[in-house]
Amino acid sequence: MQRTRSNHDTLPGKLIYHVPTVFIGKGNSTMNEKILVIDDDTELTELLHDYLGNNGFVVKAVEHPEDGLILLEKEMPDAVILDVMLPDMDGFTVCKEIRKKYTVPILMLTAKGDVQDRIVGLEIGADDYLAKPFEPRELVARLRSILRRLSDNNSNDQIEHFGDLGIDFSARNVTIKGDDANLTTNEYLLLEHLIHNKGRVLDRNQLVDYLRGIDWESSNRAIDMLISRIRQKLHDDSRHPLYIRTVTGTGYVFIGKR
């Protein structure tokens, strides 16, 4: 992403970053979702101030990952934008630390376009991955897609049980034998979608469309990785499944019994 500086950078309300943590904006929309940006690229965070702020988000930015983890615990944002290349601790490690406690959506940024980096990010619990340079509109679209799905899911106040598996749709919480399964955002969304389509085989393309709403490279492998992680957390043996069955050459179907 390239930024062209102009005289607008000095207009009132524009904040320049001279301290580690900066409150950087609130747009004129009524959305007001809170976004935490962890990135040491001040040019990029200035651009995000302009674009995300004008699109209705409230943004806080930190340069150092330790500051980001502290701020995350204090304020619990609606989503995190996390750069891979950071001082002291790389973004993959930060993502792992976040996933130890929180299910907040994480969108990772990188200067690398390597497919393997994207796969690693998704494997450790990131919800989306965007390579630099990127279009700001695409970033906003991805954030809105994630947050919209969460909002839609939160409107469902039903609690269901399938044997040892319990799912609270309003709290977006999944338990196994009463213990929290600690699903990430995309793991939860994928499981919930399968449950709502119980008994119906969903192919991988349908699952990608539901999770993303946009093209997602390496989509088949990414879906398979999500399913593998869900099974591991639900203690569901793929050879003798209780909840998710693989339909060879097609996709997956939820088979849990109430």
Per-residue model confidence as pLDDT tens digits over 30-69: 458 899 999 999 888 888 888 899 899 999 999 999 999 9
> pLDDT per residue over 231-251, tens digit each?
999 999 999 999 999 999 899
CATH of the domain at 226: 1.10.10.10
Examine the domain organization and report whether 166 and 146 are in the same domain: no
Please tell me the distance from the alpha carbon of residue 72 to that of residue 92, in angstroms, as a whole number: 16
Examine the domain organization and report whether 14 and 64 are in the same domain: yes
pTM, whole model, 2 decimals? 0.61
Examine the domain organization and report whether 73 and 54 are in the same domain: yes
> pLDDT per residue over 158-199, tens digit each?
789 999 999 988 778 899 999 999 998 888 989 999 999 999
Examine the domain organization and report whether 52 and 128 are in the same domain: yes
Query: Cα 159 vs. chain centroid, distance in angstroms?
Result: 23
Examine the domain organization and report whether 129 and 30 are in the same domain: yes
Q: Pick from 99, 132, 151: which residue ends a domain?
A: 151
Examine the domain organization and report whether 133 and 67 are in the same domain: yes
> H helices within the chain, ranges in order?
42-54, 65-75, 91-99, 115-123, 136-154, 185-196, 204-212, 219-234
> Is 2 inside any structural domain?
no
Examine the domain organization and report whether 176 and 118 are in the same domain: no
> Is 166 inside any structural domain?
yes
Neighbours of 126 (CB within 10 A): 25
Examine the domain organization and report whether 183 and 240 are in the same domain: yes
> Is 121 inside any structural domain?
yes
> Is 142 inside any structural domain?
yes
Q: Which two tokens stand for residue 86?
A: 């950071």
* Angle subtended by helix axes 91-99 and 115-123, to nearest 10: 20
Q: Pick from 81, 116, 151: which residue ends a domain?
A: 151
Q: Pick from 113, 131, 151: which residue ends a domain?
A: 151
> Is 192 inside any structural domain?
yes
Examine the domain organization and report whether 125 and 189 are in the same domain: no
Q: In what order do the strands lie in the sheet with 106-110?
A: 21-26, 58-62, 34-38, 79-83, 106-110, 128-131
Write out the residue range of the structural domain in which residue 240 sits. Answer: 156-254
Examine the domain organization and report whether 75 and 192 are in the same domain: no
**CB 167 within 8 Å of CB 174:** yes
Could you give the number of structural domains in the chain?
Answer: 2
Please tell me the distance from the alpha carbon of residue 178 to that of residue 11, in angstroms, as a whole number: 54
